[in-house]
Amino acid sequence: MRPGVIFDLDGTLIDSNYLHTLAWSRALEDCGEWAPSNAIHRLVGMGGDQLLPELLGRDLPAASDRRATRYKELIEEVRPFPGAEVLLRLLRSEGLAVVLATSSPDEELERLLPLVGGRDRFDAVTSAGDVAASKPAPDVFEAAVRSASLDASRAVVVGDSVWDIHAARAAGLACIGVETGGFSRHELAESGALAVYRDVAELSAQWRTSPIGGLRP
């Protein structure tokens, strides 16, 4: 069993949360529905199977289909956060497994992975197609632990939303928060993050004194 770090993708390694908010907003409008953008943003990080019932009080499969179409119109605007690929390379060079765990569907994931160096930057990748339920259910992080043969007691999740933290804790994993998804330091800490950093660049600069530093073999 290996020590390692499990990374969320959207809002953590890549700057996409507000584009997801816009895609959901446009998808709802396409379906004759409306919700305030701030309410949508607060739920980004959940999969659509969780987000729509929370937002509307019911599922709306047509909106999920339209979200995929609307996000395709925006995906070229996604950028990696500075320092993301550097941090991934650094941790692997220190002997830690690096795993990606995302609620993104496979088609979107394949478009986004090159932004952080491609699949070669990770020991394993888990996505929406590998799980029955999305965050805040723990499925994607449990799958990540299995896929890389991680020792859960020596693994840390890095995520940007309270949903990442809830899912990590439900999976029995510690979690570090970054503020780049739009949740505040206070919110992430109150949800149970062991530590909170401004972004992955700050985490990269301080990783030795972060909870990740104690995982090294």
For the chain, domain boundaries: 2-15+79-215, 17-77
Q: Which of 110, 114, 87 is nearest to 7 (CA)?
A: 87
Which tokens is 83 given? 């320092």
What's residue 216's pLDDT? 82
- Residue 203: which of 44, 12, 45 has the closest Cα? 12
**DSSP H or E stretch at residue 157:** strand 150-159
Per the CB < 8 A criterion, the answer to whether 114 and 102 are in contact is: no
158 forms beta bridges with: 7, 176
Q: How far apart are CA 5 and CA 157, in angstroms?
A: 6
Backbone angles phi, psi at 20, to 5 degrees: -65, -40
What pLDDT is recorded for position 131? 86
* CA–CA dist 8, 116 (Å, integer): 12
What is residue 46's predicted lDDT score, i.e. its pLDDT?
A: 87
Report the SS3 class of residue 124.
strand
pTM of the model: 0.96
Q: How far apart are CA 164 and CA 154, in angstroms?
A: 18
Q: Options 3.90.79.10, 3.40.50.1000, 3.40.50.11030, 1.20.120.330; which CATH number does 2-15+79-215 get? A: 3.40.50.1000
pLDDT of residue 118: 96
For residue 133, what pLDDT is reported?
86
Parts of the chain with a pLDDT under 50: none
Whole-number Cα distances in Å, 120 to 4, 41, 89, 92, 163: 16, 31, 10, 11, 27
